[in-house]
């Protein structure tokens, strides 16, 4: 079940994982959010070409009691809406226009992500990482660079951590973990087999599992103890993969700073040791 807060942002990310009938309901709502408040469940069902029971099932998928509950939540969300930025790029755009649109799309992704993050899941993630003896970061493809960045940051805290972007090394390492360890998987789609299989292996070994994904209904959430969601919008050139990485980085940075401030004295001490060690690398 997902939180009601930021329903539209969660719906955008979860749309690919919905069954065809429920997906039509989701597409209708995303295309007509301002009309829902005046439409009956019968009208929404008719416009989506589905049965009323499908609309109810759709609402319950997102944690609502029913259609009326979803409608009320959506109206509240639209009272103070986040301004939707049109970041669609086209071949007629000048470089300065492209820069503005790309920057704004990243800002939008950060705003949307902040609106859907669950405070309880954030607290659980920070506490789980703080207690862990070892942190294992995993990700493949475009998630790989963020995994490496996360390893670099958390290593500076003096935390015992490692990472792999190779699927075979991931699952091999996961099989040797213990209940004192935690695995953090970064996956935009949440449907890539490699990180899912690695989390399954980690759970069998007793380790805690955390995912950072854009899709609240994706398979990776089913093998994750803690779920942190990003929110990015699809565009003509699939720019969402880029904006999602920005949101992923923001979550990693927030986790990093939360751990850093958990023990400021140790953090400052580690920073001084690192600065002293790498000074010989500078001219």
Shared domain for 39 and 169, answered yes or no, is no
Confidence class of residue 17 from pLDDT cuts 50, 70 and 90?
A: confident
As a whole number, mean pLDDT of residues 194-213 equals: 97
pTM (2 decimals)?
0.77
CA-to-CA distance for 251 and 116, rounded, in angstroms?
12
pLDDT digits (tens, 9 = 90+) for 47-68: 999 999 999 999 999 989 899 8
**Length in residues, the chain:** 283
CATH code assigned at 38? 1.10.10.10
Shared domain for 124 and 71, answered yes or no, is no
Shared domain for 132 and 233, answered yes or no, is yes
Q: Is residue 44 part of a domain?
A: yes
Shared domain for 12 and 129, answered yes or no, is no
Query: How does DSSP classify residue 234?
Result: -
Residue 3: its pLDDT value, please? Answer: 47
Shared domain for 149 and 21, answered yes or no, is no
Q: Is residue 254 part of a domain?
A: yes
Dihedral (CA of 183, 186, 190, 196) sign: negative
Q: What is the mean pLDDT of the chain?
A: 89
Shared domain for 124 and 73, answered yes or no, is no
Structure tokens at 8: 């539209």
CA-to-CA distance for 25 and 169, rounded, in angstroms?
41
Shared domain for 260 and 171, answered yes or no, is yes
Shared domain for 263 and 133, answered yes or no, is yes
Residue 211: its pLDDT value, please? Answer: 98
Number of domains in the chain: 2
The range of the structural domain enclosing residue 49 comes to 7-79
Instruction: Quickly list DSSP for 141-181.
Output: GGGHHHHHHHHHHHHTTT--EEEE-SHHHHHHHHTT--TTE
Taking 50 as the threshold, does the pLDDT of residue 141 lie above it? Answer: yes
Structure tokens at 168: 């075979």
pLDDT digits (tens, 9 = 90+) for 226-258: 999 998 765 544 545 678 899 999 999 999 999
Shared domain for 124 and 62, answered yes or no, is no
């Amino acid at each position: 079940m997902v939180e009601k807060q930021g329903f539209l942002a969660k719906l955008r990310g979860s749309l690919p994982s919905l069954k065809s009938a429920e997906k039509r309901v989701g597409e209708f709502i995303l295309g007509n959010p301002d009309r829902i408040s005046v439409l009956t469940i019968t009208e929404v069902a008719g416009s989506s070409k589905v049965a009323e029971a499908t609309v109810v099932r759709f609402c319950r998928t997102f944690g609502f009691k029913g259609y009326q509950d979803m409608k009320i939540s959506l109206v509240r969300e639209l009272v103070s809406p986040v301004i939707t930025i049109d970041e669609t790029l086209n071949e007629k755009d000048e470089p300065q226009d492209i820069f503005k649109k790309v920057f704004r799309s990243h800002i939008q992704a950060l705003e949307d992500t902040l609106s859907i993050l669950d405070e309880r899941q954030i607290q659980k993630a920070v506490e789980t990482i703080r207690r862990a003896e070892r942190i294992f970061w995993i990700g493949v493809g475009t998630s790989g660079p963020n995994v490496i960045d996360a390893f670099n940051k958390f290593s500076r805290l003096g935390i015992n951590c490692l990472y792999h972007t190779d699927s075979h090394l991931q699952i091999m390492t996961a099989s040797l973990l213990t209940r004192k360890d935690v695995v953090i998987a970064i996956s935009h789609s949440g449907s890539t087999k490699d990180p899912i299989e690695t989390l399954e292996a980690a759970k069998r070994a007793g380790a805690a599992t955390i995912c950072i994904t854009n899709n609240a209904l994706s398979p990776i959430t089913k093998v994750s103890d803690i779920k942190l969601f990003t929110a990015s919008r699809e565009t003509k050139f699939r720019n969402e993969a880029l904006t999602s990485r920005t949101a992923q980085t923001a979550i990693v940075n927030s986790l990093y700073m939360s751990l850093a401030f958990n023990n400021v004295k140790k953090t400052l001490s580690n920073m001084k040791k690192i600065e002293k060690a790498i000074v010989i690398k500078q001219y």
